[in-house]
Amino acid sequence: MTQRSAAKRATSHPDTKGIVRDMGVDDIDKIMEIEKISFVDSWSEKMFEEIIFSPISRGFIVEHDKELVGYTVFYAVDVEAHIMNLAVNPAKRKQGYGRQLLTHAIAFLKENNISECYLEVREQNRDAQMLYNDFGFEVIGRRKRYYAETGEDALVMQLLL
């Protein structure tokens, strides 16, 4: 999985008017805006750059009316993937953009012969848990005090593709 032109593989989803495409360097400023309002301990610009250029990582963004409204990043090695981050602008949540990103990412993983997908989610983030459950993710464990900034536990979820 190497850096691709951001215009490649753009797709729309029937439930929303968003377009999903590969994440590019030019998207990082808008991603950082969403990142900082979505997470207590936000990633740095450099971390997103590393995702974009890493051969084992991939990032997708969803746009609506040319506005970046959400993103997801994951890595894949052999048959296993790990979703590291998924966020949607709070003003655009509950409109199907997170679902659209996850649908696109899972389709990509299946196309690339990935058979297992994992993620961690905050124990108190019920909305995200419901989204992941809708896709068939199941809780397989707990990481105690995983989120250092709050001391909150993470639920480890798995999806067999």
The CATH number given to whatever domain includes residue 80 is 3.40.630.30
In a domain, 35, yes or no: yes
Question: Does the pLDDT at position 108 exceed 70?
Answer: yes
Provide mean pLDDT across the span 106-123: 96
pLDDT at residue 21, as a whole number? 96
In a domain, 108, yes or no: yes
Domain assignment of residue 45, yes or no: yes
pLDDT score at 10: 47
d(CA 15, CA 7): 21
Q: Taking 80 as the threshold, does the pLDDT of residue 48 lie above it?
A: yes
* Two tokens, residue 154: 């993470």
More confident residue, 4 or 65: 65
Known catalytic membership, residue 71: no
Active site includes 120? yes
139 falls within a domain: yes
pLDDT computed for residue 148 by the predictor:
86
pLDDT digits (tens, 9 = 90+) for 66-95: 999 999 999 999 999 999 999 999 999 999
pLDDT at residue 149, rounded to an integer: 86
Active-site residue (options: 118, 120, 123, 138): 120
6 found inside a domain: no
Please state, as a whole number, how many other Cβ atoms lie within 10 Å of the Cβ of residue 63.
Answer: 18
With respect to residue 99, please indicate whether it lies within any of the assigned structural domains: yes
Segments forming the whole domain that contains residue 135: 11-160
Total tally of structural domains belonging to the chain: 1
Find the range with the poorest average confidence among 15-19, 110-114, 146-150: 15-19
pLDDT value, residue 16:
58
Predicted pLDDT at 15: 52
CA distance 88 to 92: 7
Interacting residues of 137 by C-beta distance below 8 A, sequence separation 6+: 117, 119, 157, 158, 159
Average pLDDT over residues 85-110: 95
Q: What is the pLDDT of residue 17?
A: 75
The Cα 128–Cα 99 span in angstroms is: 10
Q: Catalytic: which of 132, 138, 146, 152? A: 132
Side-by-side strand order, sheet with 19-22: 11-12, 19-22, 57-64, 67-77, 80-88, 116-122, 152-160, 138-147
